Amino acid sequence: MVKLYQADVEIIENKHLTPVHKLLAFNSKQIAAHPIPGKFITIDLGQFFRRPFCIAGVNGTKIDILYRIIGPGTEYLSKLKKGDKINVFGPLGTGYSPLAKDVLPVFVSGGTGIASLRYLAQTLNKPGLLFYGAKTKKEIVGLELFKKKKWKIILSTDDGSLGSKCNACDLFNRYLSTYKLNNLSSVVFACGPKPMMKGISAKAKEKGMKCYVSLEEKMACGVGACRGCVVKVTNLKSPAFQEKAGSRLMMQDGQIKNQSINNIEFDYKACCKDGPVFDSAELLWD
Ligand SMILES: Cc1cc2nc3c(=O)[nH]c(=O)nc-3n(C[C@H](O)[C@H](O)[C@H](O)COP(=O)(O)OP(=O)(O)OC[C@H]3O[C@@H](n4cnc5c(N)ncnc54)[C@H](O)[C@@H]3O)c2cc1C
Ligand code: FES
Decide whether any atom of ligand 2 lies within 6 Å of the 217 Cβ. Answer: no
Q: Convert 128-140 to b/e letters by CB count within 10 Å (16 or more is b).
A: bbbbbbbeeeebb
- pLDDT for 60-88, tens place per residue? 999 999 999 999 999 999 999 999 999 99
Short-list 209, 40, 66, CA closest to 145: 66
- pLDDT for 3-21, tens place per residue? 889 999 999 999 999 999 9
Mean predicted lDDT score pLDDT of the chain: 89
Bridge partners of residue 13, in order along the sequence: 25
Q: Measure the N-to-C terminal CA separation of the chain; round to a whole number of Å.
A: 32
Region 128-154: mean pLDDT is 96
Domains of the chain: residue spans and CATH: 5-92 (2.40.30.10), 104-214 (3.40.50.80), 218-286 (no CATH)
- pLDDT for 21-69, tens place per residue? 999 999 999 999 988 999 999 999 999 999 999 999 999 999 999 999 9
pLDDT, position 247:
43
pLDDT, position 99:
87
pLDDT, position 257:
43
Ranges 54-68, 141-155, 167-181: which has the least confidence = 167-181
**One-character DSSP codes across 23-45:** EEEEE-HHHHTS--TT-EEEEE-
Decide whether any atom of ligand 2 lies within 6 Å of the 228 Cβ. Answer: yes
% residues pLDDT > 90 (the chain): 76
- pLDDT for 175-222, tens place per residue? 888 877 777 789 999 999 999 999 999 999 998 899 999 999 999 999
pLDDT, position 150:
96
**One-character DSSP codes across 108-130:** EEEGGGHHHHHHHHHH-SS--EE
pLDDT, position 97:
87
Please check the confidence at residue 248 and state whether its pLDDT lies above 80: no
- Return the best residue to mutate from 229, 231, 268, 278 for the ligand 2 pocket (most ligand atoms within 8 A of CB): 229
Q: Could you tell me the pTM of the whole model?
A: 0.89
- pLDDT for 84-107, tens place per residue? 999 999 999 999 988 888 899 999
- Confidence class of residue 2 from pLDDT cuts 50, 70 and 90? confident
- Return the best residue to mutate from 42, 216, 221 for the ligand 2 pocket (most ligand atoms within 8 A of CB): 221
For residue 200, the one-letter residue type is: I
Ranges 102-116, 150-164, 232-246: which has the least confidence = 232-246
pLDDT, position 256:
35
Report how far apart, in Å, the C-alpha atoms of 269 and of each of 178, 217, 230, 273, 278 are. Answer: 36, 12, 5, 8, 10
- Confidence class of residue 237 from pLDDT cuts 50, 70 and 90? low
Pocket of ligand 1, beta carbon within 6 A: 40, 47, 51-54, 56, 66-68, 70-74, 112, 115, 216-219, 276
Decide whether any atom of ligand 2 lies within 6 Å of the 215 Cβ. Answer: no
